[in-house]
């Protein structure tokens, strides 16, 4: 029977769907959109008496501005900000934050790496992604790795404070304009047109590495483009080949092209 050989991948896909639907039921039961968040009474937004907050962002100017805004909130205790994943891991171990506000773009790793570390070693810390990344893909990727909320960096300070309070209570928040597409992708693994996405299990960084493969770049060139080491590129390639049940870069490039990925600039 043809499906027997694919059982491990099928089981993995089923497990992923069950996990995501559990996320919808358990995490998103308190989902609040922008309009509702703005109408919530301030006393409710601050009903957590003491919230320890860690900021993870390598943009020092943005971090300084955010710290200045959050420092005005009586109920928030700000831990020293982390400018790298390594610093974040140290603060997580010693500071035990209730909420982590993190960007996805870091110098020595990605915010996804930090989310995975938090999920494994610090599950009591609730993550909020504060990012300038655009589109649905990075939001879906962050949620798959445990993010409870996604706030664009263009948001005003009051909204960020409100969402921190929501996340501290275990509730979720996402931009209303993205919410429908995010939920659809999480539950079905399909894009907005209902087409199955064979790359759905890949992380954002793995998709970037795959794009480099489609562009014909070698490992060293990919490392230079993405600002990571060749060993990191090798690890991402190994992971994406495993997820796609493929054996070579050529197979991966062909799969990506069939899924609609095109060489950069075309």
CATH code assigned at 79: 3.40.50.2300
Same domain, yes or no, for 177 and 203? no
Owning domain of residue 219: 198-258
Domain CATH code at residue 251: 1.10.10.10
Give CA–CA dist 250/237, Å, rounded: 12
Whether pTM > 0.85 for this model: the answer is no
Given its phi and psi angles, is residue 251 left (phi above 0), alpha (psi -120 to 50 degrees) or beta?
alpha
* pLDDT tens-digit map of 20-66: 444 444 444 445 444 444 444 444 444 456 899 999 999 999 999 99
Split into its structural domains, the chain has a count of: 2
Query: 185: pLDDT confidence band, cut at 50, 70 and 90?
Result: confident
**Which residues, in sequence order, are CB contacts of 15 under 8 Å at separation 6+?**
none
CA angle centred on 114, ends 22 and 218, rounded to 5°? 105
Same domain, 218 and 108: no
Compute the radius of gyration of the chain from its Cα atoms.
19
**pLDDT for the residue numbered 254:** 82
| Mean pLDDT over the full length of the chain | 80
For residue range 117-130, what is the model confidence (pLDDT) as tens digits? Answer: 898 899 999 999 99
Check whether 260 has a pLDDT greater than 80.
Answer: no
Of the two residues 62 and 192, the one the predictor is more confident about is: 62
- What's the pLDDT score for residue 8? 42
Rounded distance between C-alpha atoms, residue 6 and residue 165, angstroms? 44
Burial class, 12, CB count within 10 angstroms (exposed 0-12 / middle 13-18 / buried 19+): middle
Residue 177 is predicted with a pLDDT of: 87
The mean pLDDT of 202-227, rounded to a whole number, is: 89
């Amino acid at each position: 029977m043809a499906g027997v050989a694919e059982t491990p991948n099928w089981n993995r896909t089923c497990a992923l769907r069950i996990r995501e639907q559990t996320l919808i039921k358990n995490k998103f039961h308190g989902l609040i959109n922008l309009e509702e968040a703005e109408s919530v009474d301030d006393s409710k937004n601050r009903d957590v008496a003491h919230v320890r907050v860690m900021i993870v962002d390598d943009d020092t100017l943005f971090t300084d501005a955010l710290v200045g805004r959050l420092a005005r909130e009586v109920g928030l205790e700000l831990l020293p900000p982390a400018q790298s994943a390594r610093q974040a891991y140290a603060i997580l171990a010693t500071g035990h934050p209730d909420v982590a506000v993190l960007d996805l773009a870091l110098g020595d790793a990605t915010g996804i790496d930090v989310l995975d570390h938090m999920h494994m070693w610090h599950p009591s810390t609730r993550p909020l992604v504060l990012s300038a990344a655009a589109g649905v893909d990075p939001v879906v990727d962050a949620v798959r790795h445990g993010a409870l909320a996604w706030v664009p960096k263009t948001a005003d300070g009051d909204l960020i404070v409100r969402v921190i309070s929501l996340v501290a209570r275990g509730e979720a928040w996402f931009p209303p304009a993205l919410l429908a597409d995010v939920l659809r992708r999480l539950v079905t693994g399909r894009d907005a047109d209902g087409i199955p996405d064979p790359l759905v299990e890949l992380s954002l960084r793995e998709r970037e590495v795959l794009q480099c493969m489609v562009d014909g770049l070698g490992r060293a060139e990919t490392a230079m483009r993405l600002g990571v080491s060749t060993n990191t590129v090798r690890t991402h390639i190994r992971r994406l080949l495993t997820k796609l049940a493929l054996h070579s870069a050529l197979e991966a490039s062909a799969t990506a092209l069939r899924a609609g990925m095109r060489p950069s600039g075309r």
